[in-house]
Amino acid sequence: MRDATESAAPPPWAVAAVPIPAAAANKKATGQRAAASHPADASTRSMAVINWLTSALRDPWRERIREYLVLMRMDRPVGALLLLWPTLWGLWFAANDFPPIGLLVIFTLGVFVMRSAGCVINDYADHAWLDAHVERTRNRPMAAGRVSRKEAMLLFAGLLAFAFVLVLFTNALTIKLSFAGAALAALYPFCKRYTHLAQVVLGAAFGWSIPMAFAAVTGEVPALGWLLFLANVLFSTIYDTEYAMVDRDDDIRVGAKSTAILFADADRPIIGVLMLTFLLAMLLAGTRAQLTWPYFASLGIAAGLFGWQQWLIRRREREACFAAFRNNNWVGFALWIGVLLALAIR
């Protein structure tokens, strides 16, 4: 029997180690550092795009820009889409047709800019007292100490300035409304310290693009615009409650507040009531706008997707609740397609 201390000959298929060139080793180390600094909930595909976009930059710029993009939540674009679809609802409802291309570009850019600004101020508010103590968020740039408070505030100010420049290409009423939208975006992150209804405030912040869209297209905000705004408050409360269910245990331990904590064991039936109320509000909006069958078919698809979400969250498992949250992207998309087709064929 071979002695345990005796060196065994390498098998025939073994290949001798080949030294890695310094440049390749540095590139590999950089990739490993980047992978290690991913937030737990980052999209692998989006992170790959971010890494590709910054690959041509030299350090330290590459690392800084990458951290800023992650802070702006470019690693998770689903949040921007959840803001985009209601904005498109508003533009199409307001125009009663395909909206002016200039306004479509302005509002689409504005969605991504303001969502990024909201994420920056959210992490500024949460990085020490909340994000650093939650598994899903502790590796975000500010919570992990990779981006300073000063950098975050400068980035937030820059994004707000860019958004304001975009609004200047609209009209006076839209510009006035934009100040309220900016205030709501800045207020939301601090609400979770004081009220369980932070998700409702988020809905108002996310939905404020709807009255702004009506103001930009028509010069006023009619009852239909406010009805869609209230519908989006319901929609945002639905998906952000599902999102809050992912972190409920951590939030209770840290002391953060949310509708998921407020609803407790009644979360599923309350979310179900909110879903039905949202669908009713969107039905009233479609009826008021005299939309045709494609829109009402899209409401049926949305109802089916809501049913799927209820099935996903039945055991309140973290991954399932997160999947339900992400599924709302398809709800928003389906309703926008319904509005677009209904207006196109009538």
Over residues 105-160, the pLDDT tens digits come to 999 999 999 999 999 999 999 988 888 888 788 899 999 999 999 999 999 999 99
Per-residue pLDDT band for 34 (boundaries 50, 70, 90) equals: very low
**145 CB neighbour count, 10 Å cutoff:** 10
- What local confidence, expressed as pLDDT, does residue 40 receive? 66
Instruction: Please say if the pLDDT value at position 237 is more than 70.
Output: yes
Domain extent listing, the chain: 71-345
pTM here is: 0.86
DSSP 304-321: HHHHHHHHHGGG--HHHH
- Range in 28-37, 183-192, 231-240, 290-299 the model is least confident about: 28-37
Q: Any idea which residue has 């507040």 for tokens?
A: 257
The Cα 22–Cα 291 span in angstroms is: 64
The Cα 227–Cα 205 span in angstroms is: 15
Please tell me which residue, 16 or 101, carries the higher pLDDT value: 101
For the domain made up of 71-345, the CATH class stated in words is mainly alpha
pLDDT tens-place string over residues 282-341: 999 999 999 999 999 999 999 999 999 999 999 999 999 999 999 999 999 999 999 999
